[in-house]
Amino acid sequence: MKSALVTGAAQGLGFATAALLARSGYEVGLVDLKPLDDAVRRLTNEKLSVRGISGDVTSEEFAQVLAADIAQRHGALDVLVNNAGISLICPAEETTAAQWRRVMDVNLLGPFLLCKALGAQMLARRAGAIVNVASIAGLAGVGRRSAYNASKHGLVGLTRTLAAEWGGRGVRVNAVCPGWIKTEMDEADQKSGAYSDADITNRVPMARFARAEDVASAIAYLADPKLSGFVNGVCLPVDGGWTADASWDSLRVGSRGP
Ligand SMILES: NC(=O)c1ccc[n+]([C@@H]2O[C@H](COP(=O)([O-])OP(=O)(O)OC[C@H]3O[C@@H](n4cnc5c(N)ncnc54)[C@H](O)[C@@H]3O)[C@@H](O)[C@H]2O)c1
């Protein structure tokens, strides 16, 4: 059975991705800081092969323990999805060093540590796929998100660099760059008054938020060597056309027709 690990899988996009990979025949490890019992129960009820692994992706010790566990069970993973991430909406001039460090730790150091520990096993096997969950905030600036945007730009840079360094040894590294998705993260950000549904839907050519399943499908594509075996180093927007569109709002909304 093929093996996959998804971080930040207790809820949101991570859960949707773990569910899709498990339904596609992978044995999936769900990693999170939050309790995983509920997520695991929902999937085992479908008779899927999943397990919960509690841990903090920012911990080097956790990465090593995880690597030892994976080595023993599988030798190496087929697929690693670095999805765990945190948001921070704050004017740049008010962002503290501690906030900046925490965002960088979770969104960039964590993926690096897991790429290093679990990617080394893939390199030894000369096969594997890593998919990092960046954001359109990794491709362009979005105000009041200096730490978050810098972390996601960093993750795009890490993805391209590992693709260059590891592609010749059979390990592909790609990223997805989702637009705004309806998840718990969006709910919390909207509660803080940062933006509204209309702000997002007016900005997106396809006039809606991403669904977690839209993004999970793109991750599953990049993970599957049969579908994307020569795709390496790509940072794929899954954004309904957001990053392609430089129209002003009235032009975009006016193009939608009656
Ligand atoms: N929601 C969006 O609009 C959106 C858009 C673009 C990109 N993303 C990215 O997608 C990913 C998932 O986002 P989501 O909306 O599902 O978020 P979410 O907040 O709903 O879920 C994130 C999960 O990651 C876990 N997590 C956080 N820190 C962790 C740590 N140190 N170790 C282990 N687990 C940790 C959380 O406990 C949570 O279960 C994130 O990387 C996010 O930046 C989200």
Contacts of 239 (CB under 8 A, 6+ apart): 136, 177, 178, 179, 204, 210
Q: Mean pLDDT over residues 232-243, rounded?
A: 98
pLDDT at 193: 85
pLDDT at 31: 99
Whose CA is closest to atom 1 on ligand 1? 181
**Model confidence over 35-72: pLDDT tens digits?**
999 999 999 999 999 999 999 999 999 999 999 999 99
* Ligand 1 centroid – CA 119 distance (Å): 21
pLDDT interval class at 102 (50, 70, 90): very high
pLDDT interval class at 194 (50, 70, 90): confident
Q: How far apart are CA 10 and CA 36, in angstroms?
A: 5
pLDDT at 86 > cutoff 90: yes
pLDDT at 30: 99
**Mean pLDDT computed over every residue of the chain:** 98
pLDDT at 128: 99
Q: Read off the amino acid at residue 46.
A: E
Q: Which residues are catalytic?
A: 148
Q: Which residues does ligand 1 sit against, CB inside 6 Å?
A: 7-8, 10-14, 31-34, 56-58, 83-86, 106, 110, 133, 135, 178, 180-181, 183-186
pLDDT at 74: 98
Strand partners, 20: none
To test the ligand 1 pocket, which listed residue (155, 181, 215) has its Cβ within 8 A of the most ligand atoms? 181
To test the ligand 1 pocket, which listed residue (36, 86, 153, 214) has its Cβ within 8 A of the most ligand atoms? 86
Whose CA is closest to atom 25 on ligand 1? 8
Task: For domain 3-183+211-246, give the CATH number.
Answer: 3.40.50.720
What ranges do the domains of the chain cover? 3-183+211-246
* Ligand 1 centroid – CA 83 distance (Å): 6
To test the ligand 1 pocket, which listed residue (185, 189, 214) has its Cβ within 8 A of the most ligand atoms? 185
pLDDT at 192: 87
Q: Mean pLDDT over residues 176-197, rounded?
A: 93
